[in-house]
Amino acid sequence: MNKKIAVIGAGNVGATTAMYLAEANFADVVLVDIIDGVPQGKGLDLTQAGPVRGYNAMVKGTNRFSDIKNSDIVIMTAGLPRKPGMSREDLLAKNADIVKSVGKNIKKFAPKSFVIVVSNPLDLMTFHMQRATGFPKRRVFGQAGVLDSIRMRAFISMELGVAMTDTQAMVLGGHGDTMVPLPRYTTVAGIPIAELMSKDRIKAIADRTRVGGGEIVKLLKTGSAFYAPAAASVDMCRAVFNDEKKLLPASAYLSGEYGIKDIYIGVPVVLGAKGVEKIVELKLNKSEKAALQASAKTYKKHLKFLGY
């Protein structure tokens, strides 16, 4: 292996991301956590699974940030998870300090890396990470709509009884309760879902997508989602490593697109070897555009709390 990915945080999201990355077999993985023994144990366990899972990637667990040196991509999963009744925004103050500290270490030890932020509240932490590293904005981006759209795709598949791989969905806006699912840009094998289900069912799926993460938090009671977030992270890594020019919704920095500026929020981007290579401006109707701008306005208020 001549590529290297660092995963910050060895909790459920981080460890599962490391597992999916190892099985993707395109890079060695460094799993970092502050708790002594946890990343080392999980890393060794994952490495030992390689012979039967069919991968040659090595997974190294460590407590030292210096071990992320020369990483091509850093995936930020560390932070406190949501608990029942807690919104993503409630996590803001607690996770901001963690992101700032990690960002300084990324800048020091992996100054040429791309950074994918998974920590919540996602869009705010992505903005915070970019400021902490000082990296070009195209090299720092957040998961956001990648996760939200695959949740919506799963719900459509469950509703219609069709293959999940035949579904495509587009979800914009903040990764939270103000997200903006776009049924007009959502299809099954190219067929608009409006031709396959009623307006009421489409609305129900869009509403369920908005609270998709919260639904899992309520069910788990002691944690939050990790399988789907990890899968979304690996999908983004693959797009960068393979220069796929993949069009997907991610949290990216806007400079006037959609009438929004100076904020990270979920929009369609082209993701490739240079990171966020292009922001795609869809033709939104008035209500869709208003919902997206309202989502951005909410996060603008929270940025003031961080001192921006």
Is residue 177 scored above 90 in pLDDT? no
Torsion of CA 111, 280, 300, 120, to 10 degrees: -60
> What is the percent of the chain where pLDDT is above 70?
97
User: What is the rounded average pLDDT for all residues in the chain?
Assistant: 95
Tokens 């963690």 — which residue?
Answer: 98
pLDDT of residue 306: 84
Torsion of CA 146, 151, 152, 155, to 10 degrees: 160
Confidence band, pLDDT 50/70/90 cuts, at residue 308: confident
85-90 long-range contacts, CB within 8 A, separation 24+: 86/217, 87/176, 87/177, 88/120, 88/121, 88/122, 88/175, 88/176, 88/213, 89/121, 89/124, 89/176, 89/302
At residue 2, the 3 state secondary structure works out as coil
- Which of 83, 162, 176, 163 has the alpha carbon at shortest distance from 126? 176
- Which of 135, 79, 137 has the alpha carbon at shortest distance from 110? 135
Q: Is 189 exposed, middle or buried (0-12, 13-18, 19+ CB in 10 A)?
A: exposed
Two structure tokens written together for 38: 């946890």
Confidence band, pLDDT 50/70/90 cuts, at residue 144: confident
pLDDT of residue 82: 65
256-260 long-range contacts, CB within 8 A, separation 24+: 257/281, 258/284, 258/289, 258/292, 258/293, 258/296, 259/289, 259/293, 260/292, 260/293, 260/296
Two structure tokens written together for 44: 């060794």
Rounded CA separation 234/22 (Å): 10
Tokens 């799926």 — which residue?
Answer: 205
Which residue out of 88, 151, 175, 246 is catalytically annotated?
A: 175
Instruction: Please indicate, yes or no, whether the overall pTM of this predicted structure exceeds 0.85.
Output: yes
At residue 185, the 3 state secondary structure works out as helix
pLDDT of residue 85: 72
Rounded CA separation 279/130 (Å): 17
Rounded CA separation 209/149 (Å): 8
Is residue 89 scored above 70 in pLDDT? no
CATH 3.40.50.720 in the chain is located at: 4-142
DSSP 80: P
Rounded CA separation 249/269 (Å): 6
pLDDT, average across residues 109-137: 96
Name the H helices within the chain: 12-24, 38-53, 92-109, 122-133, 145-160, 199-210, 212-220, 227-241, 286-305
7-38 pLDDT, tens digit each: 999 999 999 999 999 999 999 999 999 999 99
pLDDT of residue 170: 97
CATH of 145-305, one of 3.30.390.50, 3.90.110.10, 3.40.50.300, 1.10.287.610: 3.90.110.10
Torsion of CA 199, 201, 207, 213, to 10 degrees: -150
User: In Å, how far from its chain's centre is CA 89?
Assistant: 16
Is residue 251 scored above 80 in pLDDT? yes
262-304 pLDDT, tens digit each: 999 999 999 999 999 999 999 999 999 999 999 999 888 889 8
Query: What's 4-142's CATH class?
Result: alpha beta
pLDDT, average across residues 194-208: 97
CB 106 within 8 A of CB 143: no
175 is catalytic: yes
CATH 3.90.110.10 in the chain is located at: 145-305
pLDDT of residue 305: 82
